[in-house]
Structure formats: structure tokens, C-alpha cells
Structure 1
Amino acid sequence: MAIYDTFKTRSAQALPKLAPAEIRRIQRFGTLICFRDGECMFEAGRTSFGMYVVLKGAIRISRYDGLGNSSVITEHGVGEFAGEISQLAGAPSLVNGHAVDDVEVLALTTESLRALLIAEAELGERIVRAFILRRVEQLDNKDGGVVLVATPGHARMHALQGWLNSNGLPHRVLDPRSDAQARALVERYQPQAEDWPLAVCPDGGVKKNPSVVDLGRCLGTLPPLNPDDIWDVIVVGAGPAGLATAVYAASEGLSVLVLETRAYGGQAANSARIENYLGFPTGISGGALAGRAFVQSQKFGVKMAIPAPAGRLLCDTYPLQVEMCGSLTHLQGRTVVLSCGARYRRPSLANLKQFESKGVYYWASPLEAGLCANDEVILVGGGNSAGQAAVYLSGHAAKVHVLIRKDSLASTMSSYLIDRIAATPNIALHTESEIVALEGCDEEGLEKVVVRNQRNQEETTYNIRHVFLFIGADPNTGWLSDCGVQVDDKGFILTGFDVPGAPASARAGLETSVPGVFAIGDVRAKSTKRVAAAVGEGAAVVSQIHGFLASRSR
């Protein structure tokens, strides 16, 4: 069968063949199942399974969407296996699988698959690598997953596409003005102005003007959560710190639930290139680092819910309870780890909200870079994230104007980034400068930006349609008020020795003023705002969780 571009140079890794001895090692994890020729073995958007190892016949894998479009990807023959990242997460399949001839398979559930990956490390590495490359193939070809229908430039599309991209979920966009299937869908559902865009889920369900919660439910990133379950650890926030806690805790046998508002990786996932993270001498993008950590968490059985914003933390009972935002659902945890990070800081501009996602952005992903190709852009901010974004955007935009309030970058940015910005010809640094006005309209979005130089008070108007704001963030701690978790005067969570009246045993810890509640990463007072430091805290807190749980069981 035809193999697509992603597989051409890495087919041995994406489509590996297991040796008879390897299949024998897998047998204790699976069950023998038979299918007739042509029978549907699993269906996009509907069927959840772990992995199928082919013993006889073959499985034809087809890309499929809710509009009924299907195209063959490949066939798995004897000794090969079916599955990809969705199967690690226990989510519905994103592809169809049909039996070719009479088929016998060794069927593994999601739980059995995870057990195999842990017990057979070398074999597990090959399986996980294949799963990752198969998801990459889906993302490259964009013929499966969710189908979004709208005319270009619709205000809601950027947010939906950004969420899908950030979570590594395949999708495609159809314009009803030029695509016959999209036009037929519009004629059938007759959407009003408030109904756009339309989203077609893999199972064929159609949603009008969907939220990211709607997309999460139809793609399986937001699974049903049972309020009767009691988790050893509930992690609030899936940035680098939260992901580290999830991986280390689950690998040590604790049951872990992670609640994330937007996408795994947090703000770090938006870094175009992290060059000072230990072990990556050529650098790694924040998205790639976060993606690897996410897969690692799934391997160890972490339950991930996205988007699942926490609304309140309730500490007057034990187990502790997290109330979900917008509902009365209470989730129970023996411990809660707060790695909820921060919210993007917004400048005081009267019409800022009008242009968010229509010219004003708080991160710089390939989606945004594609929008500003060959245009001039403005980027505001002087930290490392701003520097990484400026360098990344300079490879797409005609010119990047970097605005900072200080007179230099020396006190806020790493020297290697300062040197790189200085050496990049299409980056212009404007010191002691700030945006004072945004101009445009609802239909066209941002059109002009007024910048004031604070030294001489001169104002300059730029014909610029894209502004990137990297001016820091405020701690995301307002939702903790019902629990009494103590924070400092800036809203960051106090831990260990910094908690007033903390006992000596807590002085080196990451526990907050509430027993069993821990804080790590950027949301913690006096934390080092670096990815490596966040990962370190995420790992370190697990031993303290063990200590707390042991004390409760005495």
C-alpha cells in the first residue's frame, strides 16, 4: 500500500514488524480475537482500544472524517500492530481499521498496553516511537480528525485552530464558498450568524459554534470524570512542572489526574526554541518538549483532562476536592498539586479585547507565523520568551519591531538571545517604547498601531496588522480563595519556610499553608521562572507527596 511522506524515510520506525519471539512476549498481555474479511475492527470517533497485533491476515488503516471522506494510509500485515497516541490515552480512534481476509489479532486494552510498555522497556520504546510517528503522519496530511467549516478570517477560527494545534490534534478547514461538501453541510444545517463556525467530529456529529470543551469531548481529550473516584494526586495545570509531577508520581504507582485549562505544556509550549535546557545542545521547541512529556505521562497511565479548568479548591473535608469551573462536579484527591502557572498580562489599552485573535496574540506558533508572512509585526516584551519569539518570527515576517520599556535588554534576557537579536537584520529594537493605541475594525481586525517613545514623547503610527504581547503574567490563584491557601502580596503561593508559622519540618518543602496541597513552578512564590527549575520542582514534590500520604495512613 502507499506510504505517505512522513513514513517514507522512517517506515521501519513508523511501521515496525515484530519478531515471533517478541509476539510471544506480548501474548500474556492480550487476548486472541478473530474478524471476518471486510469487517470493521475499529471506527474513527467511536472505538477505543489499546493495540492490535496481527497474527493472520491484515488490517487496512484508512483516514476518515465525519463527512464520509476516506483514504487508505497503509495495511498492517502479520507481525505488525495497529494503534497510535489516541490508544495510549484511551481516547477514540482517529482512523478506521478493516479486516483484509480473515484476521486474527492479539488485542490489548489500554491498560494492558501500558503494562506492556512498562514491563518490556525496549519493545515499549519501539511501540511508542511508532505511535508518535503515526500521529505526525496524521498531522501532516490533515485528512482526519475534526473538520472546521467557515469562511477565511472568521474570528472564532483562530482560537479553535490554535487549541487543536497546541494539543497535537489533526484537523482541516473547509471554505463553503469553494468546497462542495462544506457547501452541502451549510445548506443542510442553515447556520445563523451566531452558529459559525461549524465543526464535524470524527463520528459525524456536527456542532455549531463549538467551544474548545465541545471539541475536547468529541476528540476524547476531555473524558468523563467520575466524582466518586479518589485520586492520589490531582495536578492542576499541565505546564512543565505539572507534567513532571504527573510522570514521576504515576511512574511510582500513584493514581494521577491532571486538569489543564488549555493545552499541555502551558506557556512553555509556545517557546519557538529553548536552547539552555540541559541535554539539548541544539535546542528544542517548547511544543516538542511538551509533546514528549505528554506521551510519557500517558505511558505511565496519567489521566489527562483538557480543557478542564478548576473553579474552586475545597479544603474543609478530606479527601480534598476540586470543583470544576462551570459545574458542580467535585473531584476528590488525597493530595492536590498546584502548578496552575499564570495568566497572560494585558496592557491597559481600551480596545485590546476587540483585536485578540484578530491581530493581537499572546504566543507565536506556526499558526500565527503563517498569518504574518512577509508583513511587518510588533512584539512587546524583553524576557527570554519574547526573545525566542522575536527570533522565530524573524524567519517569517518582513520585519520584527521589538518594544521594551527599559533602555536595554541586559537585565531581563539571556545574553545568547540578546546577541542573536542584534545579529538578525530584520529585528529592530525600540527601547523605552510602548503601544498607546490600536486601530482597526471588527471585520478587518487590527490595521494600525500607535507607539510612543517615552524619552521624547514622540508618537509613531505603524501600518501593522499583527502584534505579539510577551509582557509577563500574573499568578493564576484567584480561584483558591475558598481554601485559604496563603499567597504573597503579588498573589504567588507561599510554600515551606515562607508560610507564616510553618513548622520546622516544612521549611524545605513545597507544601502550602493547607496540608496536602502543594505548589510548584511559576505560581509558587520565589520560584525560578525557568523550564528546568519547574521540572525539578515537579519531580521533587513527589517525595513530599509520599511523605504526606504515609503520615495520613498511620
Structure 2
Amino acid sequence: MITPGLLAKLELFSSLNREDLARLASKAADIRLAPGAWLAREGERLEFLVILKGRLAVRKQINGKELHIADMTTGDFFGEVNALLDLPAASSLCAMTHCRVAAFDRQQLMELMASSTQCGDFIRKVLQTRLADGPRHAIEISSARVHVSGSRNDPSLTQILKFLKSNRIAYEWVDAPDTGEASVACALPSLTIDGVAIAKPLSERVVAEAFGISTTPQHRSYDLLIVGGGPAGLAAAVYGASEGLRVLLVEQNAMGGQAGSSSRIENYLGFPSGISGEDLAERAVRQAQQFGAELVLTRRVLRLQPDASGGHRVILDGGTSLIAASVLITAGVRWRTLEAEGITALVGRGVSYGVAGIEPVNLAGKRVFLVGGGNSAGQAAVALANYAASVTLLVRGATLEATMSQYLIEQLRAKANVRIETDSKLESVAGHGVLRTICTSHCGTISPRRKADAVYILIGADASTEWLPSNLNRDDDGFIQTGRDVTPRSGSDLSRLPFPLETSLPGVFCAGDVRHGSIKRVASAVGEGSVVIASIHQYLALQQEASRI
């Protein structure tokens, strides 16, 4: 319990009278921390925090690296800007020693600041200083740790740049000088991280490891191994790790999956102004890691097979073999390919499947075409219209209403540089080494060839399940059957009724877009990833009980 006498020892409160100190002490939260404990995390809502005893470190994640900003000790305070303006914390506070902290809500802070005491004057002065220093500190922080040099049309950089953008890794482009010297040409493309050149050949895994991203599992056995880092997989990692399971999540490309590339999700509960897929994925990753989940990137699961221990053996690329008591498949889906003349030769050279890795600023003044009539195409068109000279949406159907949310249709119609062409089809693309023109048809009639700088294809997706065992039940399109859809007639390996979201293989579960009958929405995937943990707990308890018999 915080006493008036304890507050009176601090210079901040020394000018308050006994009555004010007693009222303040009676309303304060008394927070005690052991070394290594977090008082506040970046992005959390903050109260006005006053350090009564101990030392805390102010830390901040900047460009994927945690930096030490400052130390705070007895008598210092923190969070007055956040509490007053209702802003999330811009940095984190970690206890370096045993600490005791008093926390006051916004109303108590405002009463202190409104008073004509020395305490109120001091808080106002510090508040003004921190508000003024904020922009200066932001300018001093390096905007990017990664620098890339070479030709923007170099196909060897296509996947690297896509990886950087998809994983929210800021980079700066350095145009290579055209000296004509062979030695310079041989050195390109090049990539440096924190000033250190990355050895060739460049690959996503080499870049990830140099950046400090985990690519190798730390253990050989896990309670739960999750395949896929989309919304369902991340939600399962958060809930599984928070409930005490040793969790490993394996993702090949980028955390967040296809949802991570959405420019803005406006119908997600709790975000009235919308939230970008990148922000949602970044928050989920941070949350999962805070609970102790292990996340590895640039790794692909090659095989899943039963193990003599009663669990499952999971084989990763490179030959890494892991044992998991339970497995959750949240592998998502892959973009469906388009049959059109010239497409294959120009993929990565002006033609792309999906919008992951797009740098909208590079499309400034360009002519952009998107193929598709779903929400993904609509979200991309709205975002790119803020940069491109024109955005044309090629829709096979006669109307958008059947395939796209109404709010997106209204946003598209409000954009002066967006054109919607229904009953249309992309017939061919052309260009020598880079996209130059496209040819479309309308209601079966071929249109004149048009100039184009970029084409993005978003025409639906197929299940990515060919790597799974043949005795795992799937529907005719390859989507995984779970729960009530798994029946003895369909060849189930279960000797009991399956748990919700359990597949035909005992202890193997499925959630998200790759599941048969799933609703293709971010909120639905997050919900499935959350609730499946209850089924996994039931399965693990059943296995433990069986092992004791």
C-alpha cells in the first residue's frame, strides 16, 4: 500500500500538503516488479507512472532491432503524454532492478497539472519538453537498416525485395552508377544491413538471418507446431503460448499471410478507423513472442508423418526433423494462376500475383491494372489509386456487388482515377524483358492494345495441401476436412469422434482459409485459431491419460 509519507519523499510531490498527499496515495496503484519484468510494452495504453524505487530501462523496437533509449530511476516519471492524450506507448519499460512504481489514472494526472503547485508546474514543463523533443528524436533515428543497390528490373532482386516489403523491413534503394566498368557490374546487385555487405548468392533466408530474424527452431520437440503464419496461425500461437504450451510456428514467406498485404481492413471489430494488414500482423507477432511462442521464417514443411512416440514427426526443408505432440495446419492458400498469353515470361517484370511486396511509391504516375473482383482486388485498387496515375480494375463478372463488400465498392467509385471494367478479361501481356502493353476483351470482343506499367492478378486462390499425407481427408478442391465433415465413410483414421477443427489424423488440426467450409475473412480465421487451442488441450489431455493406463 502506498502511503502519503512514501510520496512525500519524492521531489515531484514534496510541495503537496498532507491532505493532497493522502488523497493521491489512496487512489494510486502499487506496482512491484522483479528484475526483467515489463512495466509497459510498446503500443499499450499507459497511466501516469512514478518510480518510487529502482531502475527501469526505456527500450524501443526500431527497424526490427531493440534499442536502449534511456534509464529511469527513483523519482522519475513516465506516461504523462500518453495518459493525457490517450496515446499508446511509443516505447517499453523493463525493470533492471527490483522496482516499485505508483500508477495514477488520467483524472488524477489532470488534477495535478491543473493545480498551481510546484508539482503541477514541473509536470507541465516536462510534458512540453517531451512533446517538443519527440519529432527531433524521430528524425535522428535511421529510417532503414537495409540498403539495396542495383537495377530495379533485375530479376535476381524480385524475391528479395518482395521478402523485405512483405515482412515490413524498411530499405533504401541506391541507384547503381552506370560506369561501364565490368568490376562494378559484377558487384551488383548488392545488399547491406547495418553497413555490412551480405554475401552472395542473396536469398530470403540469408537476408533474414543477417537482419536477426529467427530461421532455425531452438528445440527438437514441441507441444504444438503450427504450419503457416497467417491470422489463424498467429492467433493460435498467441493463445497456445499464453496457456502454457511450447509452441513453434513455421512460416515460409511472411508473417500475416495474405491478410498482411491488405492495405486497410475496415470491418475488423475494434478498429473503427480500420487497420492495415501489416499493422495487424506486426501486433500479433509481437504479442505471440511476448507469450513465449517461437516463430521461424523462411522455412517450409516438407512432410508430416506419425512418430513412434505417439506424436508427429515434421520434416522441414534442409532436413531438420522435429517432434510435435499436436500439429495445426494454417497454411492458407496460394494465388490462382491466370491463363493469358505472355504472363509467365513477365511475372516479376511488371506482372505479379497478389500485392505482397508492392512499394506504392514506385507506382507514382504509372498505369496500373488489377485483375479480379474480390475484396483483395478492391483493397489494392483503393490503396494504389493514391499513387498511380490510373488504376483499372478488370472484372470478369457483370457486377461487383456479388463478390466485393459494399464499402469497398463505394470507395472505388469515389476515386477519380479508378476505372472499373466489368465483363472484361485480360487476353495477353507484352514487352521485351519488362511489361509494356496489355490486350483485354469486353464481352468477348477484343479491345485495342493499351500501355501498362504494372499488372496485379488477384483471381482467387487454391489450397496448398499437396505436401500432406494422402490419408488426411480433403475435399475435391484440396481443402482440409475437419470436425463433423470427418466421417468413417470418408476414411477417417480416428477411432472416436473428432474434436472441433480436428482432421482425420488424430492430433492434427486445421484452421483458416485452407479448411473446408471456412469463411474467408480475417476475423473468422482469428476466431478459429483461438478456439482450436481448446480442442488441442483436450487432445493432449487424452494422450496423457492414455499413457498412464
The answer, yes or no, to whether TM exceeds 0.5 is yes
| Correspondences of 1:144-163 after superposition (within 5 Å) | 144=145, 146-163=146-163
1:216 aligned onto 2:205 = no
Deviations 1:419-474 (A, max 9, x none): 222232221111111111110122xx100011112x24223311001011111111
Does the 8 Å CA contact 2:59/2:67 hold for their aligned counterparts? no
Decide which of 444, 447, 450 is 1:462's aligned counterpart: 450
Q: Which amino acid aligns with 1:498?
A: D
TM-aligned CA distance change 1:418 to 1:203, over 3 Å: closer
Contact persistence 1:374–1:396 (CA under 8 A): yes
Specify whether residues 222 and 190 from structure 1 end up closer, same or farther in structure 2 by C-alpha distance, changes over 3 A only.
Answer: farther
Contact 2:223 2:325 in 1 (8 A): yes
- 3-state SS of paired residue (1:437): strand
Give the letter for the 2:160 counterpart.
L
CA contact (8 A) 2:57 2:95 kept: no
- What is the CA RMSD across the aligned residues, in angstroms? 3.7
Contiguous gaps of at least 5 residues in structure 1? 1-20, 31-49, 52-77, 100-111, 124-132
Q: Which one-letter code corresponds to 1:157 in the other structure?
A: L
The aligned runs of 1:49-448 (5 Å cut-off) are: 81=57, 83-85=59-61, 93=65, 141-144=142-145, 146-177=146-177, 190=183, 196-202=188-194, 204=196, 206-226=198-218, 229-317=220-308, 318-325=310-317, 327-364=318-355, 367-442=358-433, 445-448=434-437
Counterparts of 1:322 and 1:279, CA distance in 2: 37
TM superposition shift of 1:356: 2.0
Cα deviation for residue 225 of structure 1 reads: 2.2
Name the CA distance, whole Å, in 1 between partners of 2:140 and 2:163. Answer: 14
Aligned mates of 2:96, 2:66 — CA distance in 1: 23
Distance 1:457 1:350, change over 3 A: closer
Q: Distance in 1 between matches of 2:400 and 2:251?
A: 33
Task: Please give the alpha-carbon distance, in whole angstroms, between the structure 1 residues aligned to 2:435 and 2:479.
Answer: 34
Which residue of structure 1 lines up, in the alignment, with residue 482 of structure 2?
A: 495
**Distance in 2, Cα, partners of 1:500 & 1:196:** 57
What is the aligned partner in structure 2 of residue 450 from structure 1?
439
Unmatched segments (≥5 aa) in structure 2: 1-27, 43-53, 72-92, 105-133
Determine helix, strand or coil for the equivalent of 2:431.
strand
Which amino acid counterpart does residue 449 of structure 1 have in structure 2? I
Distance 1:470 1:367, change over 3 A: closer
Distance 2:519 2:139 in 1: 37
The alignment status of 1:509 with 2:500, answered yes or no, reads yes
CA distance in 2, matches of 1:97, 1:281: 32
Higher gyration radius (CA): 2
Task: State whether structure 2 residue 36 is matched by structure 1 residue 29.
Answer: yes
Given candidates 492, 516, 528, the residue that maps to 2:519 is 528
- C-alpha deviation, 1:376, in angstroms: 1.8
Number of positions where the alignment pairs a residue of Structure 1 with one of Structure 2: 446
User: What amino acid is the match of 2:214?
Assistant: L
How far off its partner does 1:410 sit?
1.6
Equivalent position SS for 1:389: helix
For residues 333 and 96 of structure 2, the distance between their equivalents in structure 1, rounded to whole angstroms, comes to 35
Rounded Cα–Cα distance in structure 2 between residues aligned with 1:496 and 1:137: 51
Question: Which of the numbers 425, 449, 472 marks the counterpart of 2:460?
Answer: 472
How far, CA to CA, are the matches of 1:201 and 1:361 in structure 2? 27
Instruction: Please state how far the C-alpha of 1:411 moved relative to its aligned partner.
Output: 1.2
Contact 1:315 1:514 in 2 (8 A): no
2: distance between equivalents of 1:393 and 1:369?
A: 6
CA displacement at 1:416 relative to structure 2: 1.6
CA-to-aligned-CA distance 1:268-314 (integer Å, 9 cap, x gap): 01111111111111111111111111111111111111111111112
8 A Cα contact 1:198 1:209, kept in partner: no
Match of 1:290, SS? helix
After superposing the two structures, state which structure 1 stretch, 368-377 or 305-314, moved more.
368-377
Taking the aligned partners of 1:113 and 1:388, their CA distance within structure 2 comes to: 39
SS at match of 2:334: strand
Match of residue 46 from structure 1: none
| Contact 1:271–1:388 under 8 Å retained in 2 | yes
Q: Which 4+ stretches in 1 moved above 6 angstroms? A: 21-24, 94-99, 112-116
Partner SS for 2:148: strand
**Bigger CA drift: 426-435 or 360-369?**
360-369
Please, which moves more after superposition, 339-348 or 355-364?
355-364
Residues 139, 448 of structure 1: alpha-carbon distance in 2 compared, 3 angstrom cutoff:
farther
Shift of residue 169 of structure 1? 2.5
Instruction: Label 1:164 to 1:203 Cα distance change in 2 as closer, same or farther (>3 A).
Output: same
Report SS of the residue matched to 1:441: coil
CA separation of 1:418 and 1:333: change in aligned 2, threshold 3 A: same
Give the conservation status (yes or no) of the 8 Å contact 2:364–2:387: yes
Shift of 1:114: 11
AA aligned opposite 2:266: E
Q: Secondary structure at the match of 2:359?
A: helix
TM-score using structure 2 length: 0.73
